[in-house]
Each structure stands twice: as C-alpha cells, then as structure tokens.
Amino acid sequence: MLQSAVDIDIRKNPSGRLQQVDFDNLTFGEVFSDHMLTIDYRDKTWKRPVIEPYGPLPLSPATKFLHYGQGVFEGLKAFRYAGGKINIFRLDEHYRRMKRSCERMIIPLPDEELFLETIKVLVDLDRDWVPEDKFKSLYIRPFIFGTDESLGMRESQNYKYIVITSPVGNYYKEGIKPVKLTTMPEFVRATPGGAGEAKVPGNYASSLYPGARAFEQGYTQVLWLDAIERRYVEEVGTSNIFFVIEDKLVTPDLSGSILPGITRKSILELAERWSMPVEERKVAIDELFDLHKQGKLTEVFGSGTAAVVSPVGVIHHEGQKIELGQDKMGPIAQKFYDAITGIHHGEIKDEAGWCHLV
Ligand code: COI
C-alpha cells in the first residue's frame, strides 16, 4: 500500500464488491468503489482523516447544507497506464479550483498536502477499480459541506469533507458522437457577481429545470447565454465550449460566471504548445449563426472532466439551427481528444507535469 506522510485511519472493507461490477456497461456515476475518505472539521481544525467502507452517512435533518446548500464539489479522474500505474490527472489544479470555490462559499478546505495525499491513498487502496479500458476511468468526487445542526442563516462552523470514487465510461449516452444543444434565453445559469465560477451544487440544481425542458425538445444540453444581454455564449450544462472559426480556436473568456474548466485549461495549454491561434473572448450567438452561413464555423465541441472532448452537431437558438453536419468528431476536436486521452493513459509523454502517479 502507498506510504503517506499523512496519518490516516484506514478501516478496510471486508466485503469488496468489485466482482459484481459490469465494467462493460457503466452508467456515469452509478457504481461506487469499496472505500470513501472522510475528514471532519470541528473546533476550527481538521481531524484525523478516515478511509472506511463506502456507505450511508448519519446526518441530522437540520444539517445546514440540506437547507442552504453551503457546499462545494470537484470532479477529477484517475486513469490506468498499460503497465498498471495509475494517473490522477491534474490533481493539483483541481485542488486550486476547489480552494477558490470554497473561498466563495466561505468554507475551509484541507491544505494541499492533505488533499493530495489522502486522494492518492484512497485511489491506491481501490486501484483495482480503475478500469483497464482506454475510454474508461475512475471518477473522483471530492465534496465538502456545512454540517452544523442549525437552521440559522449564517455560515456553518463544522464541515465534512468526503471523497468517493466511481468507475465510469462515456458521460453522454451518445458516446463521443455529436450532441445537440439549444439555448434557453428565458433562463440563466449564473449572473455577474454570483457563484457561476465556483463549483457549487446550486449552479447545477438550478439548471435542471431548463435542462429537462431542453431534453423534452430533443436536445442533449442547454447552451447557456449571459445573464445580462442574453446574447453571449457562456458554457454548456456540464462542460465549457470551443468553436473552430477559420482554423482559430475560440472560446468564451472567463467572465466570472463561467466555470474555469481544467479540461478547458488543458486544451488552451495544448493549443499554445502547438502554436494554434486562440481567442478567449465574448462570443455572440448571432455571430455564430453569421459565421456558420459564411462557412467559417467548422467545428464546435465541449470540454469537461466528465465529458472529456465532446463534439456538438447541432445548436438551436430561437427557431433557427446551426447544423454542423458532423456525424463524428471533427479533426480539431479529435486532435485534442487524442492528445488528452493519450496523456491520460501514458501513451503520450506528459511534458507539463499533469499526471500524478500512484
Ligand atoms: C465534471 O465534469 O466533473 C462535472 O463535475 C460535471 C458533472 C455535472 C458531471
């Protein structure tokens, strides 16, 4: 087992469930590995981390998070290299983003060493749960929430930080086939000054209703527009968005209401390495329709930890459609997909120190 500088109370699961898992038919986030990690925050200090069998939590019905949603989560992945090593992708970047989210929600977070080390030990303990298959991974979900038994509307004094892991395949049922998006100009995901750039449950909860309406109309996800002018593209339900416009890679700039995706950052860093022209700027929905008519918008794709790189085939907006005529990934999306999944699985050299091996 991995030796760690952090003192962890490890209580192994005596009845592992690995043999019951059908790794050929994984639905995203529905199967959980044998162990989970918990660290409690009380009296302004983080207590000893515990790794124990995955299972239900005893919670008071007055737990503050259940009422006011003071919580934050992350999503990252571990991949298996051919030789058996496990790569936790951009673990440190995920820590940095979780820290920023916690600051916005006035939540304490374990320090970086505690975060990194405990996740490595947890993943190592359940390393047989990391799928062999190239297009699968172990999704890691750290989350933290206020546990005060109180309905008082102020920040919690006590917190639980938990990490669970789940073997996953493709996020969308379409696999890596193009998805269909629609704008929903009557709804917004996040407002300037709100918590749109933090990874907080409320952002996802409030997107469920518009998401369900989009689904009824035959679309996979909502393409969110900005809250003020309802004109500038922000992101997709579970990912950031990229456009290929006359061989330039264009993506909405991080305006404060957009989630700063780690896959988005990886794509931008790869584009820079490849000297590909990039623009991070406001992208108006009407501009996209004009560019498409002129034949200048050639590819659209989403990026996210869960979604990786997912091509977009259709964008619907107020009765009009951009049909990209793609029945598979376009060449630029494919180039990023191959590079990122190659680095994930150790087939392409990790030049930038993105891989944390256990
Ligand atoms: C991720 O990509 O990790 C996310 O957190 C999206 C989630 C809603 C599945």
Other Cβ atoms less than 10 A from the Cβ of 186: the count is 8
- Give the position, in ligand 1's atom list, of the atom nearest the Cα of 199: 5
**Residue that terminates a domain, selected from 169, 201, 222:** 169
Other Cβ atoms less than 10 A from the Cβ of 260: the count is 17
Q: Examine the domain organization and report whether 224 and 137 are in the same domain.
A: no
- Give the position, in ligand 1's atom list, of the atom nearest the Cα of 237: 8
Number of domains in the chain: 2
Q: Examine the domain organization and report whether 15 and 156 are in the same domain.
A: yes
- Give the position, in ligand 1's atom list, of the atom nearest the Cα of 29: 9
C-beta contacts of 199-208 below 8 A and 24+ residues apart: 199/72, 199/73, 199/74, 199/75, 199/97, 199/98, 199/101, 199/259, 200/69, 200/71, 200/72, 200/73, 200/101, 200/104, 200/105, 201/69, 201/71, 201/73, 202/69, 203/259, 205/69, 207/237
Residue 295 Cα to ligand 1 middle (Å): 32
Q: Examine the domain organization and report whether 284 and 151 are in the same domain.
A: no
Residue 351 placed within a domain: no
Residue 202 Cα to ligand 1 middle (Å): 13
Residue 200 placed within a domain: yes
Test site for ligand 1: of 305, 308, 340, 344, most ligand atoms within 8 A of the Cβ: 305
Averaged over 340-355, what is the pLDDT? 96
Residue 258 placed within a domain: yes
Q: What is the pLDDT of residues 197-256, one digit of tens each?
A: 999 999 999 999 999 999 999 999 999 999 999 999 999 988 999 999 998 999 999 989
Q: Examine the domain organization and report whether 189 and 155 are in the same domain.
A: no
What does the pLDDT read at residue 175? 66
Residue 305 Cα to ligand 1 middle (Å): 6
Averaged over 128-140, what is the pLDDT? 93
Residue 355 placed within a domain: no
- CATH of residue 32's domain is 3.30.470.10
Q: Examine the domain organization and report whether 79 and 187 are in the same domain.
A: no
3 state SS for the chain: CCCCCCCCEECCCCCCCHHHCCCCCCCCCCCCCCEEEEEEEECCEECCCEEEECCCCCCCCCEHHHHHCCEEECCEEEEECCCCCEEEECHHHHHHHHHHHHHHCCCCCCCHHHHHHHHHHHHHHCHHHCCCCCCCEEEEEEEEEECCECCCCCCCCCEEEEEEEEEECCCCCCCCCCEEEEECCCCCCCCCCCCCCCCCHHHHHCCHHHHHHHHHCCCCEEEEECCCCCCEEEEECCEEEEEEECCEEEECCCCCCCCCCHHHHHHHHHHHHCCCCEEECCCEHHHHHHHHHCCCEEEEEEEECCCEEEEEEEEEECCEEEECCCCCCCHHHHHHHHHHHHHHCCCCCCCCCCEEEC
Residue 308 pLDDT > 70, yes or no?
Answer: yes
Q: Examine the domain organization and report whether 131 and 23 are in the same domain.
A: yes
Surface-to-core class of residue 203, CB atoms within 10 Å of its CB (0-12 exposed, 13-18 middle, 19+ buried):
middle
- Give the position, in ligand 1's atom list, of the atom nearest the Cα of 171: 9
- Give the position, in ligand 1's atom list, of the atom nearest the Cα of 75: 3
What does the pLDDT read at residue 325? 75
Residue 139 Cα to ligand 1 middle (Å): 10
Residue 315 Cα to ligand 1 middle (Å): 21
Averaged over 94-122, what is the pLDDT? 97
Contact residues of ligand 1, CB 6 A cut-off: 75, 204, 238, 304-306
Residue 349 placed within a domain: no
Averaged over 266-277, what is the pLDDT? 98
Residue 90 pLDDT > 90, yes or no?
Answer: yes
Averaged over 275-303, what is the pLDDT? 97
Share of the chain above pLDDT 70, in %: 99
Query: How far apart, in whole angstroms, are the C-alpha atoms of residue 263 and residue 270?
Result: 10
Residue 290 Cα to ligand 1 middle (Å): 31
What does the pLDDT read at residue 153? 96
Q: Examine the domain organization and report whether 159 and 25 are in the same domain.
A: yes
pLDDT band at 98 (very low <50, low <70, confident <90, very high): very high
Query: How far apart, in whole angstroms, are the C-alpha atoms of residue 108 and residue 99?
Result: 8
What does the pLDDT read at residue 1? 75
Residue 185 pLDDT > 80, yes or no?
Answer: yes
Residue 6 pLDDT > 90, yes or no?
Answer: no
Residue 296 Cα to ligand 1 middle (Å): 30
Contact by Cβ (8 Å): 6, 121: yes
Q: Examine the domain organization and report whether 208 and 302 are in the same domain.
A: yes
- Nearest residue by C-alpha to atom 9 in ligand 1: 306
Residue 2 placed within a domain: no
- CATH of residue 268's domain is 3.20.10.10
Q: Which domain holds residue 276?
A: 179-344
Q: Examine the domain organization and report whether 204 and 122 are in the same domain.
A: no
Query: How far apart, in whole angstroms, are the C-alpha atoms of residue 325 and residue 197?
Result: 32
Query: How far apart, in whole angstroms, are the C-alpha atoms of residue 271 and residue 252?
Result: 15
Residue 74 Cα to ligand 1 middle (Å): 8
- Nearest residue by C-alpha to atom 6 in ligand 1: 238
Residue 172 pLDDT > 80, yes or no?
Answer: no
Residue 352 placed within a domain: no
Q: Examine the domain organization and report whether 142 and 183 are in the same domain.
A: no
- Nearest residue by C-alpha to atom 3 in ligand 1: 75
What does the pLDDT read at residue 255? 87
Residue 304 Cα to ligand 1 middle (Å): 7
Q: Examine the domain organization and report whether 92 and 237 are in the same domain.
A: no
**Residue that terminates a domain, selected from 169, 189, 215:** 169
Q: Examine the domain organization and report whether 146 and 204 are in the same domain.
A: no
- Nearest residue by C-alpha to atom 5 in ligand 1: 75
**Residue (of 264, 255, 259, 253) closest to 237 by Cα position:** 259
What does the pLDDT read at residue 135? 84
- pTM passes above 0.85: yes
Residue 68 amino acid letter: Y
Averaged over 311-330, what is the pLDDT? 91
Residue 173 pLDDT > 70, yes or no?
Answer: no
Test site for ligand 1: of 91, 163, 179, 238, most ligand atoms within 8 A of the Cβ: 238
- Give the position, in ligand 1's atom list, of the atom nearest the Cα of 263: 2
Q: Are strands 297-304 and 35-42 parallel, antiparallel or unpaired?
A: unpaired
Contact by Cβ (8 Å): 151, 62: yes
pLDDT, averaged across the chain? 95
**Residue that terminates a domain, selected from 169, 188, 208:** 169
pLDDT band at 143 (very low <50, low <70, confident <90, very high): very high
Averaged over 126-133, what is the pLDDT? 95
What does the pLDDT read at residue 4? 80
- Nearest residue by C-alpha to atom 7 in ligand 1: 238
Residue 358 placed within a domain: no
